[in-house]
Amino acid sequence: MSTLTTPHIDVHRGGDRMKTRVAWLDSKHSFSFGEHYDPDNTHHGLLLVNNEDIVLPGEGFDTHPHRDMEIVTWVLSGSLVHQDSLGHAGVIYPGLAQRMSAGTGILHSEKNDAWRISNAAEHEEPVHFVQMWVVPDEPGIEPGYQQLEIDDELAGGGLVTVASGLPRYRDRTAIAIASSHSALHVARMAEPSTVAEPSTEVRLPEAPYLHVFVARGEVEVEGVGTLYEGDAVRMTRSGGQRITANMPAEVLVWEMHARLGGQ
């Protein structure tokens, strides 16, 4: 558990993120990733990776290995094909939560070529997604995969638990992760002029570590100010703040009750 006692709020603007750009990929990294290394920006809590990627049609990440990481993929628009060495193959799309436990080792590919799986007409839409990595409780677990459709739950605009290892959320609809101190919540919020549902406001959980990422739109965070698309706020010993949408917005919130190294 965390030993931090002083609340702290740290805003990170989307335009300041490290970037990887090649012909088929536009990737923005909230933390050090690959050749982009900053010793002062390696993680927050148990979250090591928060990559926002746009991949052109027919392109993607060829088969590559992972170990000892809980990897959650959240698609914002378009569709992404997952294939792995355990025999899983399927299309990830908005509203479908997906988790891969790398454990002792797994190979997988991620490509924007859903037509090859679905036998549908070839599409020309880029896929836009966020991939997040959190540290598991222990290394060397059995690799695994899980996906779950939660689009209906998101329609209400509230903060929906998407992936969790926290015991407090065990009875909620969510994919399981092998990190008993972590949970990912997502809110699709409406603009303030919208009457009735969905909600225009959510309240953050209280936790030693929170990572709030604005995947789409623009929001106001109580005590912080305006966050724009691509912005993030890292909080320690905090929570309970209200988030209000200035326009239709999608917000990803990691709630964490420990950090890398246990400090």
Residues annotated within a binding site for Fe cation? 64, 66, 108, 110
Cis before 167 (ω within 30): no
End-to-end CA distance of the chain: 7
**Whether the Cβ atoms of residue 73 and residue 108 lie closer than 8 Å to each other:** no
The tokens for 164 are 């969790």
User: Which amino acids are annotated as binding site, given as ranges?
Assistant: 64, 66, 108, 110
The count of other CB atoms within 10 Å of the CB of residue 64 is 10
**Whether the Cβ atoms of residue 98 and residue 24 lie closer than 8 Å to each other:** no
Q: Measuring CA to CA, which residue among 103, 96, 40 is closest to residue 73? A: 96
Helix (H) or strand (E) holding 116: helix 115-118
**Whether the Cβ atoms of residue 219 and residue 14 lie closer than 8 Å to each other:** no
Amino acid symbol at 252? L
Lookup result for tokens 């225009």: 200
Q: Label residue 114 left, alpha or beta by phi (over 0 means left) and psi (-120 to 50 means alpha).
A: alpha
Q: Measuring CA to CA, which residue among 143, 134, 138 is closest to residue 70? A: 134
Gap between the Cα atoms of 61 and 99, Å rounded: 17
Please, which residues have CB within 8 angstroms of residue 141's CB and are 6 or more apart in sequence? 68, 101, 103, 104, 178
